[in-house]
Structure formats: structure tokens, C-alpha cells
């Protein structure tokens, strides 16, 4: 009888420890998702809660890990793309987009072979490139941007 009670207490204790372990992982993943949102850690958090439920109901470690993997995989495959489409929008606004079409002046020679050159547009200094060589002091027009490098042509 004592052995039965101890066995029940140990299995209950092990289930609680397993559930607490998974809940700690869920909490850490949730904090990471809030700190650096990228729609990855939220799914880990949900899967860890499911694994904690499996641990709470007394299932063994293989079932807990299996539950975690299945819930994580299904949630990522089924929900991630939909959530990104709904919440994602255009993304971060571009600093260079408002400069397209504006005029500026070359401050360092633009060399298409080396890919070097700088221009002043709207009072700001920008790296620039062009299909043709352009000398210092030439007036240019911004026709595009590649990241933070403006693509320009003679005005």
C-alpha cells in the first residue's frame, strides 16, 4: 500500500515537473516573440503549452515531445503564411523611396566600374551608382534605389 501511494505521488510529481518545464519553455518563447516579433516563437509557445498539457495528464516524455513537434509543425504550416499576410503589410517603410524622382548633386565621382560615388539629395549624403561615369558637381536625378544605394542618372 505504501508503495502504491509513493508510486502515485512520484508519477504526479513527475507530471507536474514535466508540465512546469514545458510551461517555462512556453513563457520564454512568448517573451521572445513579444521582444522580437517574427512569427516563430509564438508557435513554439503554443506547442510547448500542448506538451505541458500532455505532461499534466501523465503521458511520458516521448508523447510530450511528439505532441510538441506535431503541434509546432501543424501550426507553422497551417497558420504562419495566413498570419503574415494578414498582419505583415508592406513591411518597414523605405528611407529611399521618397527620394526617387528628386534631384541632387554628385559630391564624389560616380564610377560604374568600381561602383563608387556619392550624391547629396534633399540635404543628405547618399551612396550612389550609375550606368555611366558622372563627375563631381553634376546635377543628377534619382531613378531608383537598391537598399541604401541610390541609382542616379544625369538630370
Give per-residue pLDDT as tens, 24-83.
999 998 888 888 766 678 888 999 999 999 988 888 889 999 999 999 999 888 887 777
pTM: 0.50
Looking at the fold, whether 76 and 131 belong to one and the same domain comes out as no
Residues 6+ positions from 59 with CB-CB distance below 8 Å:
67
Looking at the fold, whether 82 and 118 belong to one and the same domain comes out as no
Q: How confident is the model at residue 14 (pLDDT cuts 50, 70, 90)?
A: low
Looking at the fold, whether 68 and 127 belong to one and the same domain comes out as no
The whole-angstrom separation of Cα 49 and Cα 72 is 11
H runs (alpha helix) in the chain:
2-35, 41-56, 61-75, 81-88
Looking at the fold, whether 33 and 73 belong to one and the same domain comes out as yes
Looking at the fold, whether 114 and 55 belong to one and the same domain comes out as no
The whole-angstrom separation of Cα 21 and Cα 50 is 12
Q: Domain span at residue 128? A: 97-154
The whole-angstrom separation of Cα 135 and Cα 127 is 14
Residues 6+ positions from 145 with CB-CB distance below 8 Å:
94, 96, 97, 99, 100, 151
Looking at the fold, whether 69 and 16 belong to one and the same domain comes out as yes
Amino acid at each position: 500500500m505504501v508503495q502504491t501511494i509513493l508510486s502515485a505521488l512520484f508519477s504526479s510529481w513527475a507530471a507536474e515537473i514535466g508540465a512546469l518545464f514545458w510551461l517555462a519553455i512556453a513563457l520564454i518563447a512568448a517573451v521572445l516573440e513579444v521582444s522580437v516579433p517574427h512569427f516563430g516563437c509564438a508557435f513554439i509557445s503554443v506547442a510547448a503549452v500542448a506538451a505541458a498539457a500532455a505532461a499534466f495528464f501523465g503521458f511520458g516524455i516521448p508523447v510530450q515531445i511528439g505532441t510538441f513537434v506535431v503541434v509546432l509543425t501543424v501550426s507553422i504550416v497551417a497558420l504562419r503564411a495566413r498570419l503574415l499576410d494578414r498582419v505583415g503589410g508592406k513591411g518597414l517603410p523605405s528611407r529611399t523611396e521618397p527620394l526617387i524622382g528628386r534631384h541632387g548633386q554628385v559630391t564624389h565621382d560616380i564610377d560604374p566600374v568600381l561602383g563608387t560615388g556619392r550624391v547629396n539629395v534633399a540635404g543628405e549624403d547618399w551612396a550612389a551608382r550609375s550606368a555611366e561615369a558622372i563627375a563631381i558637381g553634376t546635377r543628377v536625378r534619382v531613378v531608383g534605389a537598391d537598399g541604401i544605394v541610390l541609382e542616379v542618372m544625369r538630370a
